[in-house]
Structure 1
Amino acid sequence: MAKNFESESRKLLLRLREAMAEHSAGQARLDKITRLIASSMGTEVCSIYLFRDPETLELCATEGLKPESVHQTRLRIGEGLVGRVAKKGRVVNSADAPSESGFRYMPETGEEIYSSFCGIPIQRLGENLGVLVVQSKEARNYSSDEVYALEVVAMVIAEMTELGAFVGEGAALSPLHQQSVLIRGGTAQEGAAEGKVWLHEPRVVISNPIADDPETEVQRLEAAIEELRVGVDRMLEGALGGDKDQLQVMEAYRMFANSKGWLKRMKQDIGQGLSAEAAVEKEQSIARARMGQATDAYLRDRLHDLDDLSNRLLRILTGQGRDTGAEMPENPILVARNIGPAELLEYDRKLKGVVLEEGSVGSHAAIVARALAIPLIVHAERITTEALNGDTIMVDGDEGVVHLRPDETVATAFRDKMAMQTDAQTRYASIRDKPAETLDGTTIQLMMNAGLMADLPSLAGSGAEGVGLFRTELQFLIRNQMPRRTELAELYSRVMDSAKGKRVVFRTLDIGSDKVLPYMAPQDEPNPALGWRAIRVGLDKPGVLRMQLQALLRAAAGRPLTVMFPFIAQYEEFTAAKAEMDKAVAREKILGHPLPSELRVGAMLETPSLGFAPQKFFEEVDFISIGGNDLKQFFFAADRENERVRRRYDTLNVSFLTFIEGIVNRCRSTQTPLSFCGEDAGRPLEALCLAAMGLRVLSMRPASIGPVKSLLRRTNLEEVRAIIHEARERGDQSVRNAVKEYLRTANPDA
């Protein structure tokens, strides 16, 4: 790039910095910026369009178009050339804009006299904030140097917007991070909580996007890059004991840290007038934008590496590390892009809730959040850029909604809802030690789900009659290496001790799909939920399964032991897994170790195929637990990680309940104990209908036992069963409305 052009670019940025520092109102600053850019670039028009909402762009300032069109002209994303830039996140550079496909003429702006058009996305860290446009009467393409200079200017505007210079409409422009924001996401763990934001990785704030001395900035960048490389080398040394795949990942990470192209691009940005920090963030924003468009998994991973390296580099340059010295507020609600199970557990039980920008309903973090009994929202778009440490935040895990900096009306309504839930929990405590016996004399056994030692105190407090599912994979997921057999045996023994004689059903390692061990080579599968997971991994790699079974047998130390195998899809898989248990028992006997006084070996029914297994399976298995979460997604062919389809199908669908009833009848004919485990078991209405279908054991999170027991004790199960059969006879798709109506009339308090 020519030296004189770089010099002009720096002059423009310095003028922009002066405009940014002025104490004038946001609109006046924005108007001055468009004048400065038009003058410096030698164009008749410069306009700034900002997002009014996720789908609408608004003309917020212009030099050259009709002033009265400001805050009046709006475009939908994808509409016209401006909308195309916003949608694609890419530059549009045309010498003859009216001839371009999709061109939209806006008569109120007076732009019909301008032929050339160059639109630049205003982005920050992959988030589209708006579009910077320059236009001129002369039919010409803007040069690559001019486009590059405009990209640098757009980067600075993005920083100014992020710092609260202007967002909103007209003269009443509200500063960002002061507005009340409602964000919709997905429910990964139910519950409600109010607290203060605690950012897992506090956002690095760049206070100096424009630099006076490029040479000094380059020196700062090079020193920071060197510190970064030393740190990555140390990480690589620490991984030398890992497996081949882990080393390959770390080598790829180091390759990016040493990328000459990356450093060259950042130096070019500095040459245009950006500070070292702003240069890093500009390239990071480009990588984030590409990450969102990449379909290749390998490329996405590499762009993610670059994103992570950029964050590390920014912390080095700004000194804004994770340990900022800020104290965690009371009632903290964690906000993060994503988080691993080990990191989440490090917070212990201090957190009141978790909100993730990414994540999934079956992620490691979701499993831990359920174990900690705190609400978790996933897919909360833009939460990490909207939230600041200490912001008031209200998390409604039941509805999948986050209220950030809520106004008083919203806050009052939310607190009323929480108060009602607290009152309800007080009522549930009064029936804690009473049986879940319905009005017609049917007793339902209510068990709890667990996965951590920290869960076990809930066994007594919740009124659960035992642990219907103890997830053993958490102990594998939160470590960087395979746990030893002795460690597992000690843990399982402590679990049994804490249960104080109540039954604990241990599920063997359920990994794969969305639960990948940090030290296990990831499998590139097009549909992992239907792939190599759970018992399939255990049977193909029997060493880990045998080790875990031996640990369970030793933990029992002569006490009763209950074990079940996950994701059994056919009879032969159960017989193969049971054979491994028989071998483990025989080995323990030879070694002279005490054997369990009673050993029950069961299977999880999570695929429709097992419901049609040979009669011999139902005769041989000691018990069956229906894994409702997986069974429902396979029954309806609706991925439970896909928000578009997972809520489309109802657990109380007549077809699904009929299938459940069929399993109940098969188990009844062979006197095989049957239970239902999953989120639906903890929803009172669903639990009631499952019980009406013949299920007598339900396992759920501890907090759900009170509400479920309360409804069961106030309802006649035979009458509910009759209502379900009537709905089925009528051809209703779901029995939900019919059962709700019955409860309203027969039991108004239910």
Structure 2
Amino acid sequence: MADSRESDSRKLLGRLRDVMADRTAGQERLDRITALIADSMGTEVCSIYLFRDTETLELCATEGLKAEAVHQTRMRLGEGLVGRVAANSKIINTPDAPMERGFRYMPETGEEIYSSFLGLPIQRLGETLGVLVVQSKAAREYSSDEVYALEVVAMVLAEMAELGAFVGEGAALRARHQEPVLIRGTVGQEGSAEGHVWLHEPRVVVTNLISDDPVGELARLSEAVDTLRVSVDQMLEGAQDGDGEQLKVLETYRMFANSKGWMRRMEEDIANGLSAEAAVEKEQSTARARMARATDPYLRERLYDLDDLSNRLLRILTGQGRETGAEIPADPVLIARNIGPAELLDYGRSLKAIVLEEGSVGSHAAIVARALAIPLVIHAGRITTEALNGDQIMVDGDQGVVHLRPDETVASAFRDKMAMQAEAQERYASIREVDCVSKCGARVNLFMNAGLMADLPSLEGSGAEGVGLFRTELQFLVRSQMPRRGELSALYARVLDSAQGKPVVFRTLDIGSDKVLPYMKKIDEPNPALGWRAIRVGLDKPGVMRMQLQALIRAACGRELSIMFPFVAQYDEYRAARAEVDKALAREERLGHTLPEKLEVGAMLETPSLAYAPMKFFEEVDFISIGGNDLKQFFFAADRENELVRRRYDTLNVSFLSFIERIVERCNIAGTPLSFCGEDAGRPIEALCLAAMGLRSLSMRPASIGPVKSLLMRSDLGQVRKQIHDARHRGDQSVRPALMRWLAEEGS
């Protein structure tokens, strides 16, 4: 039976090669393919359906159904048996199609006389491009050998579609990678940019799909796998003294690289007519399809490992390494599935924008993008498969939208928006050196957030009065091992030097949740955002905290120093952290080091619990900064990483503003300085309401200072506060609609 399968699939692939080599037009080529598949399989019908858009399939070629139905018959994703195959990426093999769940009769095709149905997804690397169908009048279930032969053919069809072999009539036969594409993602970092695509990992293009020399292809595969195994062994040797988690990943790599089952399946595919590269890609597509359905995080991680290993093997076979010879464009927009902070920093500020298929709003990449003030869109589905190096791309980080190969109308509108933003920034430059004082005489201090030395030049250019938040974790995240105290001390000293006397608030190490150090053991937690993170890690493992405190004290070298502890949830945590500061001061004094001229120790209020801490906490702490991003998600019980809920809750919700007002009142009673740090501080309308609630210090990204200052200086905070109180009295859920109407009437 195995010999029969081999001869059938090899014969079919051989005939397909002839069609591929032919220079006929796309439609004629498709017609010939359906005819030869039907003939080779001994079926009355063979049809090819391709996606015309993300939700609609179109009949593009058929042998056996009515010819006039081609390019006319369409169905939605999930509709009918064909739609089910596309939606689930699963084969349907039934002897009685009309009795199958979800069957939909398409009268214009004349398919009512055919009973048996076999439908397979046409997919490449987990992306479904269409559906291949064979049908017969006789009621029968197709054999496993026939299914296998068609699986191989479907994979070759996917590659041909990807390479533009079927370009022709019909919406589904437009040239891939030439049409405009709109992709909606999630805002990772605000800002807009236009540029050209630079793929972090260019896709390997497989052009030789079919081979009639299985012996030669098996030898090529064997040699490439040997090279792969050697490279994995070398990586393992180099990591023996490193992190245990990294060792585990590499051990998994080695397990896959030495997997007999993986090798056997690829050898079988080669024996059945595929080239070595096509055999690797077929296995990779299977892994990607499983990955899309996997709900177990551990299994998904292992499938990612196998996917990465397949990419390495393809690069060895094709010689298409990461260095493809392409030159990075002058205006690069980086496209990647995901990327680590160190790799992102290697690109530096040369990037115009970043677009990721994965990532999170609190990921390492997002932190670095914010530090570099580079627009970032995450969760941009299909971007790595849709984009090619050099494609024109426009990234709207304010809306989380990506325009790939935009038409002139979209491009023109996008450029108009960017021009308006640039014009506004020029207007803001005129008030850069002016104090931020509202129409009612309230003084509001505007600070900037930072995390890298590269941020500090913005201190002068933005008009910021200081650094309200310096994130110290970036120096830990971008390294492969724990930084030394001397290195940190030198860095913190350079930060203070660059600030030229303006205040800088250093937040101690904020790790955990989605910020995991590469050289520390990862803790699996059911809900990391509510787990072992920030101050909790510092108090449980005080060695790193003590080292960082010593580095900060030495960096100050007699200057003023402000230290802030993140994610303090109760008074005792602050007291324990403050005790560590006192111990560090005493130790440095014993060693004869110069102590800071003035030291202030504060806490970030990011949990509702701390707002209700004993009054003694508010009296004892030197200052408090509201961490708006975390506080909002805990206040509304809405995970800011969850797209289903994160947009449901508004910062201008009357309940949330009332809660902010309560915090302001407690700080005023205790005489404790209070600031607000987070994305909302940099949004003019939100900043206006926060100031109206009594906040007199806001910290934001440098580019937001101009717009926020401009609106605050044109506004009467007493009148804004009245709008908020009126909305509360009416029982409004959010003050936003009423406030926007009032601002429009006022001409603000």
Classify the TM-score, shorter chain: over 0.9
Match of 1:276 in 2: 276
1:658-697 correspondence runs (5 A): 658-697=658-697
Compute the displacement of 1:587 (Å): 1.2
Which residue does the alignment assign to 2:405? 405
Structure 1 residue identity aligned to 2:618: F
CA-CA distance at 1:479 after TM superposition:
0.7
Counterpart CA distance in 2 for 1:292 and 1:586 is: 55
How far did residue 346 of structure 1 move?
0.2
In the TM superposition, 1:284-683 aligns within 5 A as 284-683=284-683
Q: CA deviation at 1:84?
A: 1.8
Deviation track 1:313-357 (CA, whole Å, cap 9, x = no partner) reads 011111111111111111110011111110000001110000111
For 2:343 and 2:515, how far apart are their aligned partners in 1? 15
d(CA) in 1 for partners of 2:540, 2:379: 34
- CA gap 1:452/1:55 in 2 versus in 1, 3 angstroms: same
Give 2:132's aligned amino acid. L
Contact 1:27 1:171 in 2 (8 A): no
TM value normalised by structure 1: 0.98
Q: Which moved more, 1:132-141 or 1:227-236?
A: 132-141
Residue in 1 that maps onto 2:203: 203
Contact 1:432 1:462 in 2 (8 A): yes
Preserved CA contact (<8 Å) 2:60 2:172: no
2:682–2:708: 8 Å Cα contact kept in structure 1?
A: yes
**Higher alpha-carbon deviation: 165-174 or 544-553:** 165-174
Letter in 2 for 1:199: L
Query: Counterpart in 2 of 1:113?
Result: 113
- C-alpha displacement of 1:731: 1.1
- SS of 2:133 mapped into structure 1: strand
| Residues 243, 518 of structure 2: 8 Å contact kept | no
- In structure 2, C-alpha distance between the alignment counterparts of 1:64 and 1:531, rounded to whole Å: 60
Query: For residue 137 of structure 2, what is the aligned residue in structure 1?
Result: 137
What is the identity, as a one-letter code, of the residue corresponding to 1:315? Answer: R
Q: 2 CA distance for matches of 1:245 and 1:423? A: 49
> What CA distance in whole angstroms lies between the structure 2 residues aligned with 1:658 and 1:706?
27
Matched residues in 2 for 1:444 and 1:348: separation?
33
The residue number in structure 2 matching 1:259 is 259
State the Cα distance separating 1:264 from its structure 2 match: 0.6
Contact 1:27 1:170 survives alignment (8 Å): no
CA–CA separation in structure 1 for the residues paired with 2:549 and 2:579 = 11
Q: Contact 1:52 / 1:168 at 8 angstroms: preserved in 2?
A: no
The question of 1:728 aligning with 2:706 is answered no
Q: Matched residues in 2 for 1:689 and 1:241: separation? A: 53
SS in 2 for 1:646: coil
> How far did residue 646 of structure 1 move?
0.8
1:620-643 CA-to-partner distances (Å, cap 9, x unmatched) read 111000000111111111111111
Q: State the Cα deviation string for residues 463-509 of structure 1 (Å, max 9, x = none).
A: 00000000001011101111111111111111111111111100011
Displacement after TM superposition at 1:87 (Å): 1.7
Contact 1:675 1:699 in 2 (8 A): yes
Alpha-carbon distance, 1:172 to partner = 8.5
Q: CA deviation at 1:410?
A: 0.7
Residue 338 of structure 2 aligns to which amino acid in structure 1? N
CA contact (8 A) 2:194 2:394 kept: yes
For structure 1, the 5+ residue unaligned runs are none
* 2-structure distance, mates of 1:138, 1:542: 74
Q: Contact (CA 8 Å) 2:485, 2:551: kept in 1 or not? A: yes
Whole-Å Cα distance in 2 between the matches of residues 419 and 66 of structure 1? Answer: 53
Q: Give the partner amino acid of 2:296.
A: D
Q: Name the aligned partner's letter for residue 316 of structure 2.
A: I
Cα separation, partners in 2 of 1:84 and 1:504, compared to 1, 3 Å: same
Q: Which residue is 2:21 aligned to?
A: 21
State the alpha-carbon separation in 2 of the partners of residues 267 and 199 from structure 1.
31
Alignment-mate amino acid for residue 434 of structure 1: V
Distance in 2 between residues matched to 1:678 and 1:171, nearest whole Å: 45
Listed one character per residue, the Cα deviations across residues 703-740 of structure 1 (whole Å, up to 9, x for unaligned) are 00011111111111111111111111111111112221
1:8 shift after superposition: 2.8
Q: What SS does the corresponding residue of 1:548 show, helix, strand or coil?
A: helix
Separation of aligned partners in 2, 1:98 and 1:174: 32
Give the counterpart letter for 1:685 in structure 2.
Answer: I
Equivalent-residue separation in structure 2 for 1:180 and 1:22 (angstroms): 29
| Superposed CA RMSD | 1.3
Deviations 1:438-484 (A, max 9, x none): 11111100000000000001001100000000000101110111111
Matched, 1:709 2:704: no
Matched residue of 2:211: which SS? coil
CA separation of 1:636 and 1:171: change in aligned 2, threshold 3 A: closer
What CA deviation, in whole Å up to 9, does each residue of 1:523-547 have, x standing for no partner?
2111111111111111111111111
Q: For 1:728 and 1:114, how far apart are their aligned partners in 2?
A: 66
Structure 2: distance between partners of 1:245 and 1:655? 43
Q: CA separation of 1:73/1:441 partners in 2, compared to 1, >3 Å: closer, same or farther?
A: same
Tell me what 1:154 maps to.
154
TM-superposed deviation, 1:167: 6.5
The secondary structure found in structure 1 opposite 2:619 is helix
Structure 1 residue 171: deviation in Å? Answer: 7.8
Residues 671-696 of structure 1: CA distance to partner in whole angstroms, max 9, x if unpaired?
Answer: 00000000000001110110000000
Shift of 1:69: 1.6
Kindly tell me: are residues 172 and 382 of structure 1, through their superposed partners in 2, closer, same or farther at Cα, counting changes over 3 Å? closer
Aligned partners of 2:52 and 2:171 also within 8 Å:
no
- Map Cα deviations across residues 155-182 of structure 1 (whole Å, 9 max, x no partner): 0011011112346862893211110111
Whether contact under 8 Å (1:674, 1:695) holds in the other structure is: yes
Instruction: Determine helix, strand or coil for the equivalent of 1:660.
Output: helix
Amino acid at match of 2:716: N
Using the TM superposition, give the Cα deviation of residue 99 of structure 1 relative to its aligned residue in structure 2, in angstroms. 2.1
Matches of 1:507 and 1:488 in 2, distance apart?
13
- Give the whole-Å Cα distance in 1 for the aligned partners of 2:172 and 2:674: 63
Identity of aligned residues (%): 76
Distance 1:413 1:346, change over 3 A: same
Deviation at 1:21, TM superposition (A): 2.9
Return 190-199 or 16-25, whichever deviates more: 16-25
CA-to-partner distance for each residue in 1:232-266, whole Å, 9 max, x for gaps? 01100111011333322221111111111111111
- Measured in 2, the distance between the counterparts of 1:222 and 1:363 equals 39
2: CA distance between counterparts of 1:172 and 1:737? 43
Distance in 1 between the 2:338 and 2:467 partners?
29
